[in-house]
Structure 1
Amino acid sequence: MQQAISIFWFRRDLRISDNAALYYALKSEYPVLPIFIFDTEILNKLEDKDDARVHFIHKTILKLNSELKMLDTCLLVKFGSAQQIWEELINTYNIKEVYTNHDYEPYAIKRDTSIASLLSTHTIKFNTYKDQVIFEKGEVLKDDKKPYTVFTPYKNKWIKNLNDYYFKSYPTQKYYSNFLKAPLFDIPTLKSIGFQESTIPIPEKKYQSVMKEYAEKRDYPGIKGTSLISIHLRFGTVSIRELVQNAIAAKADTWLNELIWREFYFMILWNFPHVTHSAFKPEYDRIKWRTNDQEFQRWCNGNTGYPIVDAGMRELNSTGFMHNRVRMIVASFLTKHLLIDWRWGEAYFARKLLDFELSSNNGGWQWVAGSGCDAAPYFRIFNPYEQTKKFDPHHLYIKKWVPEYMEFSYPLPIVDHKYARERCLKAYKMALNGLK
């Protein structure tokens, strides 16, 4: 009779240490086979075949497999639709239980509901756990049990609820002997799943030195003041519990604050899923956006004639990152100066950002556009010149990414700041007052 096993399904938790669902899988009564699925439902939507994120995931999978081989097991890697692959797995193995960590995005919820239903028809338990956040869903609520829509009171309750239990590591290493003693499996090549290597480098998992001076340096794009840890948090090559633990130990309150913002947006996405396609505040969907493809392309390419905006977009296109302060400036410029729908910018960031996170990306864009929860008021329109004076006074950032900014070859501003501001205020006022 075929050996009964549990399966652990890696998704956005690509590590074997301090992994919640893996911990519970290894403590179960059956040996554990770890798997990863290159899901065509996700991959087929990616426009760029040299997508740095896919390359990073593939390299991480190879590294994970090497670690697992040291433990006398092996990672089973599949390529195809999740539903079809799970049907194959059910027919191939005597699966008793499946373990994985929660995912909060709409596609993931739909996929997991479908997989859970499939498994249940074969009397296979589907066990999922919280891993990528400290608090999830409805764990941090107002006193009336409704979700927060303003960050500061959410943050205060988040901190109040926090204790050692929530950031204690899962000691998976105690149970490594419970992995299935599996033969070596072939891992699909990057080329075989339809992608190619990217030239964009991935930052290392180094954040502690930056964390301590984050409050003083984080707003200045010309200096190294941010950790670039976000891609590792996005794909789970680092544990959120480790980051919170270290932030508290270092008394890095401002850095911790950013981790709480991330969880705030996860909570918003879970409780208000309509934000993925429409404004959090419905009245903002009445804004008459300009659909100017030519101006949008100039914004995408970093060719607007506003050096701080162009520097940000060129940094994004070249590295897959953009400094946090500059993200606000370029997003404000698209939505307020060019009066182009925030969804266009959100989609472009989703395509380019290494650390793309649906909840945070959506939350950030809606914050700038004024349409989101706890958003900046619509009449706050970043002045690119003033932002440059304040945060890049010596043009260190601009000189790096727009070296020709003082030359005749550099384009004139795509739109006059004063004119753009007045046009924006008029369009917003008309929409919010219900005028046509």
Structure 2
Amino acid sequence: MTRPVILWFRRDLRLADQPALAAAVASGAPVIPVYILDDETPRHRKMGGASRWWLHHSLASLDADLQSIGARLILRRGKSDDILSLLAKETGASAIHFIKHYEPWWRNAEKSLAKALPAGCDLECHDGNYLLPPGSVTTGSGGQYKIYTPFMRALWQHMPPAKPVPAPEKLTALAHWPTSDALSDWGLLPVKPDWAGGMQQLWTPGEQSAKARLEAFADKAKFYDEKRNLPSIAGSSFLSPHLHFGEISAASCWHATMAAGGSVDVFLKELVWRDYAQNVICQFPEYGGRNARDAFDRMPWRDLDDPAVKADYTAWTKGQTGYPIVDAGMRQLWATGWMHNRVRMIAASFLIKHLLIDWRAGEKWFWDTLVDADYGSNAVNWQWTAGSGVDSNMFVRIMAPLSQSEKFDAAHYIRHWVPELSDLGEPYIHDPEEHGVRPKGYPRKLIGHKQARERALGAFAGTKG
């Protein structure tokens, strides 16, 4: 009999436009699809609660899709290189196919796996999670781009990406499948309490849902720039968690929208930003926890061990800051595992500059609560907001959340997520305390905007030496 091949899934949970799957099928061998719940390799970067909820449902969907073409998903738990090495020995596999990942822990795991494989089993690495392989877009001298705009211009010269490849219609099945864990035994879903009700209402993980989201957005993509900054309307694509878990490819998103006209290029550049973030973490693997600019190592952040500072941080996480647009965003995040992109910037800026709390505390909170918590994008976005990144906003450009709320017409958004303010009209709802209409059940501002600005600028001045 032909020796089987193993297909190692991670954040590429789809059948269409899946290069590792396509190569495994092309080998003509029986294919063993496997997903490993590996909390040991990432250590402190293991998936947060919201991502684990998504993962459970995405794996269930992937298994159903695999069964429809004659296969099934094998689930194992443990250290990836150990589990795959043992599975290769157990099944006599001739190869392991996988899509390359660029987070530092996955790069280390892939190196370890190459050393641990039994004789006669090859490691077959493929690219396919991004528009182009990270590291492949280089400067004229062959170096890596650190700044987004020249990176975007260089990558754009290679677009569109290759056309997506359809899912296989059939997989060669094994006569006897390896043993598999039961998904329900992994405890990925919250139970006591079950805080995922809002996520269940908004999201349906899985490849078929990702395709439906893309089809729905493609009709509106030409209006992306006009609507994406308005949190009160559904102008976002809502594709970010599907892209993060690889339920749909970036190439599929590009080809489905590129002819939409209007401002679709703004959306396409968001896909490029996703590639840019991966290029950054390839160059700076510790980007999620280390300032890219040395000056920020001298930043006098307020100490989270101080009870008063801890109370401010907790108020931010719970959406109790007294700034309606910030509070609406933080409550949306807790309820749905997602936050509107414009509001993400406002909420992140508020933590860093109004509360003078280290950006890494916010990055960790987003890591645990976002369903689209991506190491590269999360780190790059937080360091951009803080001003500490290789390409970032200037720290002294301090976002004014109250005027941002009014500018981007967030009244309906606030009424939905901060029901204490639902009876307020405009412009009062954007700053009820200033207008003297703050309801008793809504908190006072943690700090005034002018005071926060002066404190932040004074702290930043101390970093210059």
TM-score computed with the length of structure 2 as normaliser: 0.86
Matched, 1:96 2:94: yes
Equivalenced residue count is: 425
**Deviation at 1:351?**
0.3
Q: Is the 8 A contact 1:3 1:94 kept in 2?
A: no
Aligned-partner Cα distance in 2 for 1:257–1:232: 17
The AA in structure 1 aligned to 2:164 is S
Q: Which residue of 2 aligns with 1:409?
A: 441
Q: Is the 8 A contact 1:274 1:280 kept in 2?
A: no
With over 3 angstroms needed to count, the CA separation of the structure-2 counterparts of 1:421 and 1:5, relative to structure 1, is same
Q: Which residue of 2 aligns with 1:54?
A: 52
Matched, 1:335 2:355: no
Cα deviation, 1:394-414, whole Å, max 9, x if unaligned, reads x11111111213412211110
Matched, 1:375 2:392: yes
Matched, 1:135 2:132: yes
Q: Which residue of 2 aligns with 1:220?
A: 230
- Report matched runs for 1:94-133 at 5 Å: 94-119=92-117, 121-133=118-130
Question: 3-state DSSP class of the match of 1:30?
Answer: coil
**Residue 294 of structure 2 is aligned with which of 282, 288, 295?**
282
Moved more, 245-254 or 377-386: 245-254
**Deviation at 1:80?**
2.4
**Deviation at 1:184?**
6.0
Q: Which residue of 2 aligns with 1:192?
A: 185
Q: Which residue of 1 aligns with 2:248?
A: 238
The AA in structure 2 aligned to 1:108 is W
With over 3 angstroms needed to count, the CA separation of the structure-2 counterparts of 1:323 and 1:349, relative to structure 1, is same
Aligned-partner Cα distance in 2 for 1:382–1:344: 19
The AA in structure 1 aligned to 2:442 is Y
Aligned-partner Cα distance in 2 for 1:263–1:47: 22
Aligned-partner Cα distance in 1 for 2:47–2:28: 43
Q: Which residue of 1 aligns with 2:430?
A: none
Aligned-partner Cα distance in 2 for 1:246–1:401: 32
Cα deviation, 1:182-214, whole Å, max 9, x if unaligned, reads 446675344411333543222543122332321
**Residue 462 of structure 2 is aligned with which of 416, 430, 434?**
430
**Deviation at 1:94?**
0.9
Q: Which residue of 2 aligns with 1:41?
A: 40
- Unmatched 5+ stretches in structure 1: none
**Deviation at 1:125?**
1.0
**Residue 260 of structure 1 is aligned with which of 272, 275, 281?**
272
Q: Give the root-mean-square deviation of aligned CA atoms.
A: 2.1
Matched, 1:145 2:145: no
TM-score computed with the length of structure 1 as normaliser: 0.92
**Deviation at 1:43?**
8.8
Q: Is the 8 A contact 1:290 1:339 kept in 2?
A: yes
The AA in structure 2 aligned to 1:422 is E
Aligned-partner Cα distance in 2 for 1:385–1:430: 27
Aligned-partner Cα distance in 1 for 2:334–2:322: 17
Aligned-partner Cα distance in 1 for 2:144–2:44: 32
**Deviation at 1:67?**
2.4
Cα deviation, 1:354-404, whole Å, max 9, x if unaligned, reads 0111101001100110011221111110111110110125x1111111121
Question: 3-state DSSP class of the match of 2:368?
Answer: helix
